[in-house]
Structure 1
Amino acid sequence: MAIALVSYSAFSKKEKIIDWIKNAEHDAILFALGVMILMVCLTRAPERSHSNEIRIISWSWFVLGFFVVAASTWIATSWLLAEAADGQRIEAIRTGLTIGAGTGGAMALIISARRQWLGERSHLHDMAVSRNNLKDAQEKRVTELQANASDQISSESPAARLSGLYTLERLAQNNPEYRQTITNIICAYLRMASSSTNDTQKEGQNSDFFPAISQEEREVRLTAQEILSNHLRPIQENDSKSYWPNISLDLSRANLVDFNLDGCELNKLTCRNANFQGSSSFRRAKIEFADFSHSTFSQSAHFEQSKFSQIATFDSTNFEGGCHFESAIFSDKTSFSRSRFSRSADFTDSSFRGSANFSLSKMRGSAQFYRCKFNQGADFGAAHLNRLAVFQECVFGGYTTFGSATFREGADFESSRFLEVTSFKGSVFGSDALFSGVSFLKYSSFKNMKVKFFGVFEGSKFNRTSFNDSRFGCTVNFSRSHFSGDVNLSAIKCGWPPMLEGAEVTKSNGQRWPNEWVVVWDKEDLGHFEKAPDISSKVAEKEER
């Protein structure tokens, strides 16, 4: 390119060849620049294929460069001598040599720039290697400390075990990438049976008693539990950096003493077949996934205001003491199937946003579900509730069944709302069944229901219902209730006639009423109940007797 520029400049000014020679230094610079661009392309070419790989320039490139300098000097000098006058030949030679020197200088500058670039790349490479070596050394040191601490917690000496636990805590605090691994080690220690415990227990076979734990072992386990709980609380009074986020705990088959996770947040908590000795507390805890299947709580279990973001499983769990789930939030499926509550179970103001399963559960103490919300319905099928079960002001959003459930001391559903299909088919009430002010917005079935004393549905609302073959030891009270849709009350069996004073009915096909009552239509499709004349006299005679 530079040669072309020089040629063009010379031929356009043949009549002033002397002036051109005097100013040829300018064209020499252009020529040198063109050669430099060419050499940059040549020297950069070897590394185009692999940008991260540095390739050595072959000696053939230096030989080629030498010939380029020599050729440019010879061509420029020969051409200038041919064009110059006799008195200007020395000046032409000087200009040609200047062009050659400029070309060589350009090559030297390119080689120097490449050397500088390679030096910087080498420095960066050395820094990366140094960082990697430092990281490897740190990882090796952490691994060694972790291994030594693991050996310590398996020692027979309680002091050595405590030292190992504190070492693991310090490592996890200073190395966030090892926190889950170290947490797993601490959980593994809690899962191991101590020398004074019995490890013959199989899944689903928790004993009614807890094996004795020595005082030394108790202190070590309390320390391990405290380390976990202290670092799972997002809000710390003294150190906000001590929180370990996104941690999961696997405490399956662990023996836990006075376990406390109040205010803790963790991804996953697995406590299958765990033994909770003493009081256990999970107040205000936020747990994404929880599994307490087949676990046993020897004393009270506190889950007040706890939040479960995903599935919460308490299947076949034994609550030997009272359990408290007041104001708890279950965002996904929740299951207490086959669980046993030896004392009171309190779920007051709890919210079940997914399906709730209490089927085949046994509640020996009082069952409190006051103001609970079951957004996707509830399954209490074949459940046994030994004391008065309170479901006042509850909301059941999905399909709900209490089929074949047993309420030994009765149940109170006052002012509750059932938004979808509801079934009490085959349920047994050992005392009264209280449904005052309850709203059944969809079909409700009370077929084969047995109530020992009174059934109270006063002020309730029914939209299609059936009491076919239901039995009440005394009577059933439907006073001030409202019926619509298909209704079957004709097959109710009571000690005394059903009570329908003040009840209203919206006319529809398929409605059958007790023989003791007739419907008087006040409007075309709205009526009220009055006692049948012939039955009224018989009832009066029976009352006189």
Structure 2
Amino acid sequence: MAVPGTSPPDERLRVMPWWLVLIGLLLAALLGWWVLYWLLGEADRAAAPDTRATLRIDAIRTGLTVVAGTGGGLALLLAARRQWISERAQRHQEVVAAADQAHRDRVQAHAEAVAEAGQRHQEHQAEAAAHDAAERRLTELYTRAVELLGNDNAAVRLGGLHALERLGQDNPAQRTTIVGVLCAYLRMPSPDDAREAEVRRSAQRMLTRHLRADGDVFWPGMRLDLTGARLDDFDATGCALDDADLTDATCTGTTRFTGATLRGRLALAATFEDLVLDGVTGDAKIMLDDATVSGRLTVERAEIGKLSCRRATIAAASLRATSVRRTAKFDHARFTEGASFREAAFHSSVSMEHATFTGQADFRQARFADLALFRWTEFGGDVWFTDVDFDGPANFGRARFHGPASFEHARLAYRPRVDQARATASAPHVWPDGTRVEPLDTDWLLLTDP
């Protein structure tokens, strides 16, 4: 049985024996003789001699015709057999030719496949050799740069920094490692030496230069681990930061993140002189928990995802016109000089429980879209909630107002809770409508809920 798509098997041809032809001729002669004998017998039965002679002639003619016809039939059969053999031979030649061509094609395809495999193998070996050579060169350059960075000479260390920077610029796969090395260098103890301070400032500038998405030198996706580092006038203005950790860092001068794009988490539980976050954007969680800002904190006209300043100690703060999309927490925070939240917008809950404002607290024209908690908050100076929108519940329970408090023109969706809040009796106040105020003693007024 032939398999589809393959040539049919060639059946072996059998040669016709000579005696078979002889038998065919004898049979044709016998048939002619028998027909002639029978017809002559029939002709001899005729009564008239003339009729008998005519019939005998016809009988002989018919017998010869039968013999001739039988012979012709045999000849036609032999001719048909020759034609069939010829066609079969032609078909066999075609099948053999097709098989030969298919075999040649398979041989050619195999040769091409072998050649292609050999070429690929050679290319792979060449690529592997080139990769190994490049890796060895990178390793040597990296090792040399790190050795320079550990040199006792400040100028040599500065050269090591530039070597690392060039290595990272030319090899994107090495940038994460190089940023880690630079961060580790800034985390190392810093001697009080002017030349070392310049080297460290150069390391800071290298980091921030490659975090600004404004040219070919931008290194995207970098994360900064500056825990415990010593930073001087660290300037990340306009940088794009994916997670940055400055926990326990000591930052002298002004630390700037002006106009930065922040993603992930920005941990700022560090010690700052001045901290500037003006105009920052992004969905990052800014963590100032336990931070100390001895100078001024400014977060003006910023778009922040989440803000947490719990237990922070801040001299002066300004969050003017800043928008916080998620929760903002200032629990137990201390503002020793003053704080301004003027025109700020808090789109989620705000908690300032147990916070302390030693100086004035300015919330004029601010908006609280959700819960606002000021329970146990100490207001040491003037506090303004003038023209504030409280779209959610507000709670000032047990708060302390040591200076004048003004809620003039404040818009409250709900009556604020003021249970057991106290205000100084020596200053003028403007309370929300419906607030019950009664003297507690000569120094304090007691605020209670209706």
Partner of 1:281: 256
State the alpha-carbon separation in 2 of the partners of residues 186 and 319 from structure 1. Answer: 25
Partner of 1:216: 195
Unaligned segments of structure 1, at least 5 residues: 36-102, 197-212, 477-490, 494-510, 513-545
The one-letter code sitting in structure 2 at the alignment partner of 1:223 is S
State the alpha-carbon separation in 1 of the partners of residues 91 and 441 from structure 2. Answer: 119
State the alpha-carbon separation in 2 of the partners of residues 15 and 126 from structure 1. Answer: 62
Q: Do structure 1's residue 310 and structure 2's residue 294 form an aligned pair?
A: no
Q: Do structure 1's residue 437 and structure 2's residue 409 form an aligned pair?
A: yes
> Per-residue deviation at 1:405?
0.7
State the alpha-carbon separation in 2 of the partners of residues 256 and 241 from structure 1. Answer: 26
Residue correspondences, number? 382
8 Å contact 2:269–2:287 — kept in the other structure?
no
State the alpha-carbon separation in 1 of the partners of residues 129 and 326 from structure 2. Answer: 51
State the alpha-carbon separation in 2 of the partners of residues 308 and 13 from structure 1. Answer: 99
> Per-residue deviation at 1:18?
5.0
Partner of 1:164: 160
> Per-residue deviation at 1:314?
0.4
The one-letter code sitting in structure 1 at the alignment partner of 2:165 is E
Partner of 1:180: 176
Partner of 1:230: 209
Q: Secondary structure at the match of 2:8?
A: helix
> Per-residue deviation at 1:334?
1.5
> Per-residue deviation at 1:307?
2.1
Partner of 1:257: 232
The one-letter code sitting in structure 1 at the alignment partner of 2:277 is F
Q: Secondary structure at the match of 1:366?
A: strand
Q: Do structure 1's residue 359 and structure 2's residue 300 form an aligned pair?
A: no
Go from structure 1 to structure 2 and tell me whether the alpha carbon gap of 1:22 and 1:405 turns closer, same or farther (over 3 Å shift): closer
Go from structure 1 to structure 2 and tell me whether the alpha carbon gap of 1:369 and 1:334 turns closer, same or farther (over 3 Å shift): same
Go from structure 1 to structure 2 and tell me whether the alpha carbon gap of 1:435 and 1:23 turns closer, same or farther (over 3 Å shift): same
> Per-residue deviation at 1:131?
1.3
State the alpha-carbon separation in 1 of the partners of residues 353 and 162 from structure 2. Answer: 49
State the alpha-carbon separation in 2 of the partners of residues 268 and 393 from structure 1. Answer: 32
Q: Secondary structure at the match of 1:363?
A: strand
The one-letter code sitting in structure 2 at the alignment partner of 1:351 is S
8 Å contact 1:446–1:468 — kept in the other structure?
no
Q: Do structure 1's residue 4 and structure 2's residue 8 form an aligned pair?
A: yes
Once the two structures are superposed, the pairs formed by residues 190-209 of structure 1 within 5 Å of their partners are 190-194=186-190, 196=191
Q: Do structure 1's residue 137 and structure 2's residue 133 form an aligned pair?
A: yes
Partner of 1:28: 93
Task: Give aligned-pair identity as a percent.
Answer: 24
Q: Secondary structure at the match of 1:445?
A: coil
Partner of 1:395: 367
The one-letter code sitting in structure 1 at the alignment partner of 2:244 is L
CA-to-aligned-CA distance 1:448-473 (integer Å, 9 cap, x gap) = 1111122203xx567xxx64878597
Unaligned segments of structure 2, at least 5 residues: 15-76
State the alpha-carbon separation in 1 of the partners of residues 180 and 266 from structure 2. Answer: 17
Q: Secondary structure at the match of 1:297?
A: strand
The one-letter code sitting in structure 1 at the alignment partner of 2:211 is L
> Per-residue deviation at 1:124?
1.4
Go from structure 1 to structure 2 and tell me whether the alpha carbon gap of 1:174 and 1:3 turns closer, same or farther (over 3 Å shift): closer
Q: Secondary structure at the match of 2:159?
A: helix
Go from structure 1 to structure 2 and tell me whether the alpha carbon gap of 1:406 and 1:8 turns closer, same or farther (over 3 Å shift): farther
State the alpha-carbon separation in 1 of the partners of residues 237 and 13 from structure 2. Answer: 89
Go from structure 1 to structure 2 and tell me whether the alpha carbon gap of 1:129 and 1:306 turns closer, same or farther (over 3 Å shift): same
Q: Secondary structure at the match of 1:272?
A: coil
State the alpha-carbon separation in 1 of the partners of residues 298 and 421 from structure 2. Answer: 30
> Per-residue deviation at 1:339?
0.7
The correspondence for 1:17, drawn from 82, 85, 102, is 82
CA-to-aligned-CA distance 1:201-238 (integer Å, 9 cap, x gap) = xxxxxxxxxxxx31101110111111111111111xxx
Q: Secondary structure at the match of 2:258?
A: coil
Partner of 2:52: none
CA-to-aligned-CA distance 1:19-60 (integer Å, 9 cap, x gap) = 853784454233443x4xxxxxxxxxxxxxxxxxxxxxxxxx
Partner of 1:52: none
Q: Secondary structure at the match of 1:187?
A: helix
Q: Which has the larger radius of gyration?
A: 2
Q: Secondary structure at the match of 2:242?
A: strand
TM (norm. structure 1) is 0.65
The correspondence for 1:128, drawn from 120, 124, 131, is 124
State the alpha-carbon separation in 2 of the partners of residues 277 and 120 from structure 1. Answer: 64
8 Å contact 1:232–1:245 — kept in the other structure?
yes
TM (norm. structure 2) is 0.78
Q: What is the aligned-residue RMSD (CA, Å)? A: 2.9
Partner of 2:53: none
Partner of 2:313: 340
State the alpha-carbon separation in 2 of the partners of residues 224 and 177 from structure 1. Answer: 20
